[in-house]
Amino acid sequence: MHYDPEANIMSWEISKSPISHAVEFGNFIIHLSQARQPVLIEILNASKFVGQVDKTKLTDFKKQIAEAN
């Protein structure tokens, strides 16, 4: 996994296969092989995405504690 702070993009290589094409889903770009298998996944505006994940984890954690009490 790699984060480029200048571009604010997080990426991780899943396979060494050659990239044939890419599909974009919002802030996600999934690069696919000729066989339509994921090769590389990129997250645009990664700092915002990571922040949302952290907030979700914190909210879930607080909810679990509240339910346990």
pLDDT of residue 51: 65
Q: What is the pLDDT of residues 33-46, one digit of tens each?
A: 999 999 999 999 98
Domains identified in the chain, total number:
1
Residue 55, domain extent: 2-68
pLDDT of residue 53: 54
Residue for token pair 């009490």: 69
Q: What is the pLDDT of residues 4-56, one digit of tens each?
A: 889 999 998 999 999 999 999 999 999 999 999 999 999 999 888 766 655 55
Q: How far is the C-alpha of 63 from the C-alpha of 13, rounded, in Å?
A: 34
Query: Whole-model pTM?
Result: 0.70
In the three-class reduction of DSSP (H, G, I as helix; E, B as strand; rest coil), residue 12 is classed as strand
- Calculate the alpha carbon distances from 52 to 11, 38, 56, 69 in Å: 17, 24, 6, 26
